[in-house]
Structure 1
Amino acid sequence: MAATLSAEPNFFGALISRKSVLVALVIFVAVVGISFLSPLISPTNPDAMSVRSRLLPPGSEGYLLGADAFGRDVLSRLLFAGRVSLTIGLGVAIVSSVIGILIGLLAGFFQRLDTPLSRLIDAMMAFPDILLALSLVAIFGGSMTNVILALSIVYAPRIARIVRASTLVIRVLPYVEAARALGTRTHVIMWTHVLRNTISPILVQATFIFAYAMLAEAGLSFLGVGVDPETPTWGTMVNEGRQYIDQAFFLVLIPGLAISISVLSLQLVGDGLRDALDPRLAKET
């Protein structure tokens, strides 16, 4: 038994065993690092305008990725926008996980709460994500905090369903019944015995929600109902650039590529994380 365990790869080794996951992880870490170091490595102030430089193509007059319609450096804005977009994605992943865990635990552990909470989860998931997000942002107002809150409400049911399903199975296992027989308090059982055994699927789903939230934020910003238009995000850059797509297609292409690369790398990392946490899935695929 000991030999078998010692032969198994560790978690990180299993995570990067697939080359695609390793490459995706490196790319995403690089994107995060570059974005959050933007105040140090940005060539210029992202809001600095120059009328004579408007719509310059990449590589012209020191503008590595060109200049937008106001003569602002696209590279500088891309770096600062990445920090905002990634912050929103991470915030949604964390807040939606907290909300989903609370709802899922209550629904799965207490039978009298299961039906109403399950119907609430089903009702929320019946709406298309972007329509529900649009409605909530319209109610809350457009700001980074409100976008995070709105998208967290949209994606929390995904976490809640996973936690509820796991809780329904775990709550009847012998060690949980033994804890009850010993007089362990309910909240201790929920957090110590139940939640600890649902961490793996929560982490995987949170990774996917991170990616979904970045896409949703870009969609909201593109529609003009996301964060403050003066705050650069990748979605805002695409929205601003679409007016000049015939003259300067790179204004849409560059932030669009940033969104695609970040989301795709996150999705691949999520797949690798799922396989590393549940080797049975890796064998099946």
Structure 2
Amino acid sequence: MTAAMPASGRSQFLRSLLRRKPVVIGLAVLLLILLLALFGPMLSPYAASKLSLASRLKPPSPEHWLGTDDFGRDVLTRLAVAGRLSLLVGFSVVVVSCVIGVTLGLLAGFFRRLDTPVARLIDAMMAFPDILLAIALVAALGPSVVNVIAALGIVYAPRLARIVRASTLVIRELPYVEAARALGVSTPRIMVRHVLRNLLSPILVQSTFIFASAMLAEAGLSFLGVGVSPSVPTWGTMIAQGRQYLDQASWIMFFPGLAIVCAVLSLQLVGDGLRDLLDPRLSKDI
């Protein structure tokens, strides 16, 4: 599927996508998480950081739907505020990784002299486990939301670069690219109009997986205490702070953990559905 798909083709694609129950479930869960993150803190009568020792460690009730934590803070309100950060980090990491990964992949795949050094750089970065490389980068840059986004964007960029490079190596040899060269079309125009627009499908699919991985990695970094400031509510810090109260107040850990699972699983379901529809080798089975 290319960027130039006609309106009828887009409608058919959306109908085919929405006929898949896992994709519909994933989109519904994502929508609920997005609505909770956007409007939950505004509708809640409690402030995410307001302490209330009289309400400390209260179980879920009509007053506090998901209970309170060890400082008497409303878990639902903090869950919604933390969801904003997780979604922001996930989306921002996708943008950063796309800018870096697509640029590197296009240059390596289109220009033969750049292929070997860029390919070796990609292989070297992918040789390190994602979480270890992210911890090292955040430790070097310092704990903050911007640095977490930058670190995770660098960590996941090689995934996109590898896919874009492999596809570009094939596309640059196709007849319509050779024809464009023969007609004197400039190299940047060929790369954007004839190569990049035909890579939108794999980039879109991979972006959904990066989104999920970035949210999970951000929670892991926050859980370990090397992500954003502990004073900022995140799903990872909520789980870390609730560990010592697992026996007497399990809801402090359970609901943030459930939110992470639902968000990551829903993104994976949507990504799988997009991959099945956009991959010609798989779409015939739908």
Letter in 2 for 1:207: T
- Residue 40 (structure 1) aligned with residue 42 (structure 2): yes
Q: Contact (CA 8 Å) 1:27, 1:265: kept in 2 or not?
A: yes
Measured after TM superposition, the shift of residue 44 of structure 1 is 1.0
Q: The residue matched to 1:198 in structure 2 has which SS?
A: helix
Match of 1:124 in 2: 125
Query: Which aligned runs of 4 or more in structure 1 are off by greater than 4 angstroms?
Result: 6-9
Q: CA deviation at 1:27?
A: 1.1
Report the counterpart of residue 133 of structure 1 in structure 2.
134
Aligned position for 1:63:
64
In the TM superposition, residue 9 of structure 1 has moved relative to its aligned partner by 7.1
**Aligned residue in 2 for 1:3:** none
Deviates more, 1:42-51 or 1:206-215: 42-51
Counterpart-to-counterpart distance in 1, 2:251 and 2:119: 46
Matching residue of 1:196? 197
In structure 1, C-alpha distance between the alignment counterparts of 2:65 and 2:32, rounded to whole Å: 19
Q: How many residues align?
A: 279
Question: What is the identity, as a one-letter code, of the residue corresponding to 2:14?
Answer: F
Shift of 1:94: 1.2
- Structure-1 residue corresponding to 2:18: 16
For residues 98-145 of structure 1, give each alpha carbon's deviation from its aligned partner in whole angstroms, at most 9, with x where no partner exists: 110000000000101000000000000000000000000001111111
Residue correspondence of structure 1 range 138-157 to structure 2 within 5 A: 138-157=139-158
Unpaired runs of at least 5, structure 2: 1-7
Task: Please tell me whether the aligned partners of residues 215 and 263 of structure 1 are also in contact (alpha carbons under 8 angstroms).
Answer: yes
The residue correspondences of 1:1-285 to structure 2 (distance < 5 A) are: 10-59=12-61, 62-284=63-285
The residue identity in structure 1 corresponding to 2:194 is H
The superposition leaves residues 4-35 of structure 1 with CA deviations (integer Å, 9 ceiling, x where unpaired) of: xx899711111111112111111111211221
TM score, norm. by length of structure 2: 0.94
Structure 1: how far apart are the matches of 2:164 and 2:283?
Answer: 22
For residue 37 of structure 1, give the secondary structure of its aligned residue in structure 2. helix
- The equivalent residue for 2:4 is none
TM-score normalised per structure 1: 0.94
- CA shift, 1:278, in A, is 2.7
Could you tell me how far apart the structure 2 residues matched to 1:195 and 1:169 are? 12
CA RMSD, aligned part only? 1.5
Mapped to 2, the partners of 1:103 and 1:254 lie a distance apart of: 39
Contact 1:28–1:265 (Cα < 8 Å) also in 2: yes
Contact 1:55–1:68 under 8 Å retained in 2: yes
Query: Structure 1: which amino acid aligns with 2:266?
Result: S
CA shift in 2, pair 1:70/1:276, >3 Å = same
Gaps of 5+ in 1: 1-5
Contact 1:143-1:227 at 8 Å conserved across structures: yes
Q: CA deviation at 1:282?
A: 3.5
